[in-house]
Structure 1
């Protein structure tokens, strides 16, 4: 008796069909004859031509669920890219935090790189050109490294980007900061404050020393 029940239970599971499909808030609710219910995006429903009465094998069910996870993650990425670009590493971290399967992450990153949405070189070059009028190379490099951009990509972007001459940038920043300091402040204290300020801006030590000598000698 027990074996007979198991046989029919297995047969019932393997002979699933779509009992009903309902559209709801931009999704489709798909009800199966085994009692299972799925919430699917329209793209997934169209991809597998899901209609009432369609037979669903366990293999197809697994594929549908995986496709739904892929499309949900893809939609999420397209949504966040509307606000700003992201590096490959940033995308990977965001998907990992959402618990996305590593293989799906790999597929999505490949797709977005092919479409041009993920482009670490362009990201780095734009980042450098946008911030290069306020910060030195050391700081820019550090920021990009923290975003996961490869060192060789950063080097190429720094070479190609249109940014001010490092010395002129440091000089301009130092002059502006000097005007904000009290005129009565002793020279050695001015020098220390300028040094700390320029270091935070990512200016290298040698340039800082030369610039401070120049601006304080006037």
Structure 2
């Protein structure tokens, strides 16, 4: 079974009609013995998904998983500007083949959109796309 956050487990227990006081007690015990660790979950999530996502997208994913903002922010510290540039460059390099032959404006729009949907910041998106298209020309 894949790791889960405390919030995800609480949600599952509620769906199974586990009384709230029992669920809290069980989850507290799970945390006590190390079976549930939101910080470790967030670190692992960021490590495994940072190659294809920007900080904003990762933060949203963690929020949806029930990780609090402070824990998410700590886990996201490893995703610095250089890491995001490199991940964006790799994605653009793969996508460049499919936009060859298109007008520059169309290619830019498609590449910008792809990176923006993946949560990369605007400055990273603009710089990476423009560098890639200039190198291709």
The residue aligned with 1:185 is 102
The residue aligned with 1:215 is 132
- Structure with bigger helix share is 2
1:49-88 deviation digits (Å, cap 9, x = unpaired): xxxxxxxxxxxxxxxxxxxxxxxxxxxxxxxxxx111001
Aligned ranges 1:34-113 → 2 under 5 Å: 83-113=1-31
Alignment partner of 1:84: what SS? Answer: coil
Aligned partners of 1:171 and 1:161: how far apart in 2?
A: 15
Aligned partners of 2:106 and 2:79: how far apart in 1?
A: 35
| Aligned residues between the structures | 135
- Relative to the length of structure 1, the TM-score reads 0.59
The residue aligned with 2:76 is 158
- Relative to the length of structure 2, the TM-score reads 0.92
Aligned partners of 1:210 and 1:197: how far apart in 2?
A: 14
- Are 2:119 and 1:202 aligned? yes
- Structure 1 pair 114/162, CA: closer, same or farther in 2 (3 Å)? farther
Choose 1 or 2 for highest CA Rg: 1
User: How many Å apart are 1:216 and its aligned residue?
Assistant: 1.0
- Structure 1 pair 186/163, CA: closer, same or farther in 2 (3 Å)? closer
Q: What residue ranges of structure 1 are gaps of 5+ in the alignment?
A: 1-82
User: How many Å apart are 1:94 and its aligned residue?
Assistant: 0.5
Among 26, 32, 37, the residue aligned to 1:119: 37
Moved over 6 A (4+): 161-164
- Structure with bigger strand share is 1
- Structure 1 pair 86/164, CA: closer, same or farther in 2 (3 Å)? farther
Of the two structures, which has the highest relative contact order with CA contacts closer than 8 Å and spacing of 6 or more?
A: 2
Q: What residue ranges of structure 2 are gaps of 5+ in the alignment?
A: none
**8 A Cα contact 2:53 2:120, kept in partner:** yes
Aligned ranges 1:27-38 → 2 under 5 Å: none
- Structure 1 pair 144/114, CA: closer, same or farther in 2 (3 Å)? same
Aligned partners of 1:147 and 1:187: how far apart in 2?
A: 39
